Amino acid sequence: MSETLTGKTIVLGVTGSIAAYKAADLVSRLKKRGHAVHVVMTRDAQEFITPLTLQVLSREPVTGSLYDEKQNWHPGHIELADKADLLVVAPATANAIARFAHGIADDSLGAIYLATLAPVLIAPAMNGKMWQHPATRANVEILRERGVRFIGPEEGLLACGYEGIGRLWPVEAIEAEIQKMLSQED
């Protein structure tokens, strides 16, 4: 695992939730703390926020596809997996959680998840019914048994119009949990 001069290396996965726009605030906060932030976006996430926004804030190229990795012989997803001091997925959809639980690596984020030895923090964001569905609950339990940490979701008004659990945990609380996890690494 690598360190930058002033901070740690965080790989931030962003999945296809309306809460994806909050990743911009999280990237900005982590950069201000001196961390290197490498953003990996699913194709669905790119429907909610542009890679360019996160590239400018992180000052690093954004990975959006396994096919973005044509710059050199070394697979970029393996390089990011090796570099990471922490893998954070915020927001994490039910789909991303299911793919991690079942070892599906058909995109860069899934491949990085399977290849990294770094600790993993997942901040879910989805419809409350999806969060409470037995399949999602089982997938979360599988990941917890493997040592993955979860933060949230919280209750409130959801983008779908429902009131209930499913909102992304507040960005400042995610930032605090990241700092806590990184300090435990030292």
DSSP-derived secondary structure for 154-179: EEEE-TTS-EEEEEPPPHHHHHHHHH
Residue 60 within a domain: yes
Residue 155 within a domain: yes
What does the block give as tokens for 8? 């740690």
In the chain, the number of structural domains is: 1
pLDDT of residue 28: 97
pLDDT of residue 68: 63
Residue 1 within a domain: no
Beta strands in 107-161 (DSSP E): 120-124, 149-150, 154-157
Q: What's the pTM? A: 0.90
pLDDT of residue 3: 41
Residue 19 within a domain: yes
What does the block give as tokens for 137? 């609950």
Residue 4 within a domain: no
Tell me which residue range forms the domain holding 102.
9-185
Say how many Å lie between the first and final Cα of the chain, rounded. Answer: 11
Domain CATH for 95: 3.40.50.1950
Cα distances from 51 to residues 37, 70, 73, 75, in angstroms, run: 13, 18, 23, 20
Strand order in the sheet with 36-41: 36-41, 9-14, 86-92, 120-124, 149-150
Instruction: Name every residue whose Cβ is closer than 8 Å to that of residue 71 and which is 6 or more positions away in sequence.
Output: none
Residue 168 within a domain: yes
The answer to whether 5 touches 32, Cβ cutoff 8 Å, is: no
Please confirm, yes or no, whether 160 is among the known catalytic residues. Answer: yes
Cα distances from 49 to residues 10, 89, 167, in angstroms, run: 19, 15, 17
Q: What is the pLDDT along the chain (186 residues), one digit of tens a residue?
A: 444 335 899 999 999 999 999 999 999 999 999 999 999 999 999 999 999 999 999 999 998 877 665 555 445 678 889 899 999 999 999 999 999 999 999 999 999 999 999 999 999 999 989 999 999 999 999 999 999 999 989 877 667 777 778 889 999 999 999 999 999 865
Beta strands in the chain (DSSP E): 9-14, 36-41, 86-92, 120-124, 149-150, 154-157, 163-167
Which of 43, 138, 160, 180 does the annotation list as catalytic?
160
CA gyration radius, the chain: 15
Residue 2 within a domain: no
The answer to whether 110 touches 26, Cβ cutoff 8 Å, is: no
Measure the CA–CA gap between 60 and 82, rounded to whole angstroms. Answer: 16
Residue 70 within a domain: yes
